[in-house]
Amino acid sequence: MNVPMPPTNGGCRTAPVLKERGQREVFCGLTGIIWLHRKMQDAFFLVVGSRTCAHLLQSAAGVMIFAEPRFGTAILEEQDLAGMADAHKELDREVARLLARRPDIRQLFLVGSCPSEVIKIDLARAAERLSQVHAPHVRVLNYSGSGIETTFTEGEDACLASMVPVLKDTKERELLVVGALPDVVEDQMVSLLTDMGIGPIRLLPARRIDDTTAVGENTVFALTQPFLGDTHAALERRGARHLTAPFPFGDEGTTAWLRTIAMEFGVSEETFEAVTAAPRARARKAIAQAAEALRGKSVFFFPDSQLEIPLARFLTRECGMTAIEVGSPYIHDALHGPDLDLLRAGPQISEGQDVDKQLARARAARPDLTVCGLGLANPLEAEGLSTKWAIELVFTPVHFYEQAGDLAGLFSRPLRRKAVLNLEAAE
């Protein structure tokens, strides 16, 4: 089968990486709960944290007063923070109340926060204790969503990694697709793979707790998100094998991702083309229309979500943009390597952040589009730089063929808006 050819001037996999360790601008890892609680329909996420944690989640989710979401905060008061109360007894009582009121919950995640980690509440021990109390109806797990040392997408990584040790063992040869996707996108992906004759297909996370999701030495897994480093390591410890591929953004990335799986399962070239030809054509047409405003423009990525490298590959190879700098919070060779191979040499690749130094580089470069976090976007807009909020790329369906045009449109809209405003100002 044909595979994407690397650029003739070499890719960025062996390019020097600027490693920075300074002040960072990142969102809290608790943010991942907003898309995870929508995906996992029988799960509840109980944050052990402060009122600030509760306000963050409520604001990010936009939950109305009459809604009953599947997340909440066990608020640590002054007595807890001062060590004057038994936090474990309080937590046990809150969990018992919650499960009595919500019998639909099958998975309960105790999510650590900055406050709970500072006062060193042992949520791992609490999860073990509560699992014994509430088994077999409820499985209790824990992970950290603390913003002290994590970026916001690492919340999903920590959550999925916490699930891997409790997956059942299997000797069957199965494909495990890992990473939370909107249901409509997941259905499209499963349909493409099924039409090629690939199966059985398991999902992590599944929409509901699923005893058929298992892992073993005959399991092969494909990642849909480039920020799942801990989950990748946890699955390999269970004996599973990673199918390394570019991530499924745009026509090229989606085709390469699907080809890697198809080759693993012996799918013929004729079958692959028959299944993918029509959606590929639609993707190319949609990208071409949305990318009109992007061709010949420059882009600068601040590190935020770990999506930066595959998105830079998409924008440069499929939308005609030039990357000036591509920053990522972390660069994981097993995950990001295939996209770095395809990213044309030239941009500065940076890992980590020293925000003042990076801001100075962005201001000096004056890119046509800057992809950054919310905290940096408004100041840069005030200086005349067009920006795209990085967090929008996580909350919006952007994977696979049918969303490829929408993905290009997310980047073209700020440039179109600026063109309209400049035209109005000129008049």
* Alpha-carbon gap, residue 258 to 79, rounded angstroms: 54
Q: What sign has the CA pseudo-torsion 304, 310, 311, 316?
A: positive
Please tell me whether residue 162 adopts helix, strand or coil conformation. helix
* Residue 400, CA distances (Å) to 292, 361, 413 in order: 20, 33, 20
Q: Which two tokens stand for residue 141?
A: 């797990």
Q: Is 12 labelled as part of a ligand binding site?
A: no
Give 405's contacts (C-beta < 8 A, 6+ positions apart). 283, 285, 286, 287, 289, 290
CB 202 within 8 A of CB 174: yes
In what helix (H) or strand (E) does residue 375 lie, and over which residues does it extend?
helix 374-382
**Is the CB of residue 1 less than 8 Å from the CB of residue 272?**
yes
User: Residue 385's CB: how many other CB atoms inside 10 A?
Assistant: 22
Concatenated DSSP letters of 282-331? HHHHHHHHHGGGTTT-EEEE-SSSS-HHHHHHHHHHHS--EEEEEEES--
Among 398, 412, 110, which residue's Cα sits nearest to residue 250? 398
**Residue 28 marked in a binding site:** yes
User: Is residue 53 part of an annotated ligand binding site?
Assistant: yes
Pick out the residues of the known binding site for [4Fe-4S] cluster.
28, 53, 114
Pick out the residues of the known binding site.
28, 53, 114
